Amino acid sequence: MENDNTESKSKGNNVFIPFEKILNGIEKSKKQVEMLVNSTELLYNNKKYSLSISICILAEEEISKLDFLRDHYKKENPILFREWKQIRDHKEKLTTSFIEGLKAVKNMSKEQYETAITVRKSQGGDNLIPYDELIKLGDSFDIKNLEKFDIVKQDGFYATFRDDNWFSILTDIPINQQEAISFTKMLALKLAYYDLLLSFQFDLINDSTFEELQNNELTKKMIEINKIKKSNAFQTKAILASSALKKFYKIKQ
């Protein structure tokens, strides 16, 4: 058994995707994510809310994978067997961005975090939580809340038998709550997508690149989305969506 574990561990440390092949994966993943993001909105506009929710969550997973590829390309690191196996796990993809984001914040100086606040404000976002408070919140956050979205995704695609009952978003969640979940998640998805695309264009934000960032078309799109998020109508939908997710999935947001 020990030999099997050693062999498995050894294989896990072997290169699965060479560095020189990562860029091609990034380009293909970008197109895939773009299609999923567009499909989410198309389904929402056609009032196919349950499917829109599922595709949205699937898109979030693919954004996480794209970010994973970007990080390896930026560091010029190949992808190991164990890393690829991990990032292919659905729940892992739903939590990786949060975990890695928290690590990134912890590695920031307070000065760097202040720069991040300035950038977020320029995109129309709300003021970020003070550095020390964010670290505390991140450390206490229940990661299982994010993992539960894998079940939400499944329930939007098909009827499932769980806890001695059949359930599907289409038939069991009221249409107004479906719409609220779909709309709020779609906007969050777009912000995450545009933010990631910007990270490909702007590896380092400084005085010389800040103005260019502000004038970028993706930044302008983020500003418009953040305006919507600050509206009373959106806040009403957000409360409705949060209530539905808590009731049906015990997800606390």
Position 44 pLDDT exceeds 80: yes
- pTM of the predicted model as reported, rounded to 2 decimal places: 0.86
pLDDT score for 208: 63
**Average pLDDT of 39-46?**
98
Position 149 pLDDT exceeds 70: yes
Q: Are 41 and 108 in contact (CB under 8 A)?
A: no
pLDDT score for 170: 96
Alpha-carbon span 149 to 56, nearest angstrom: 10
pLDDT score for 232: 96
Per residue in 232-249, pLDDT tens?
Answer: 999 999 999 999 999 999
Position 98 pLDDT exceeds 90: no
pLDDT score for 193: 95
Position 183 pLDDT exceeds 90: yes
**Secondary structure letter of residue 130 according to DSSP:** P
Neighbours of 68 (CB within 10 A): 23
Alpha-carbon span 195 to 66, nearest angstrom: 12
SS3 of 176-197 = HHHHHHHHHHHHHHHHHHHHHH
Can you point out the beta strands (E) in the chain? 15-17, 79-80, 160-162, 165-167
**Average pLDDT of 195-220?**
81
**Average pLDDT of 126-154?**
76
Amino acid at 52: S
Alpha-carbon span 44 to 32, nearest angstrom: 18
Q: For a pLDDT cut of 70, what percent of the chain falls above it?
A: 87
Q: Are 177 and 248 in contact (CB under 8 A)?
A: no
Position 10 pLDDT exceeds 60: no
**Secondary structure letter of residue 174 according to DSSP:** -
Please report which confidence band the pLDDT of residue 127 belongs to, taking 50, 70 and 90 as the band edges: low
Position 133 pLDDT exceeds 90: no
Report for 12-26, 76-90, 139-153, 179-193: range of highest mean pLDDT: 179-193
pLDDT score for 2: 42
Position 84 pLDDT exceeds 80: yes
Please report which confidence band the pLDDT of residue 189 belongs to, taking 50, 70 and 90 as the band edges: very high
What residue spans define the domains of the chain?
16-251
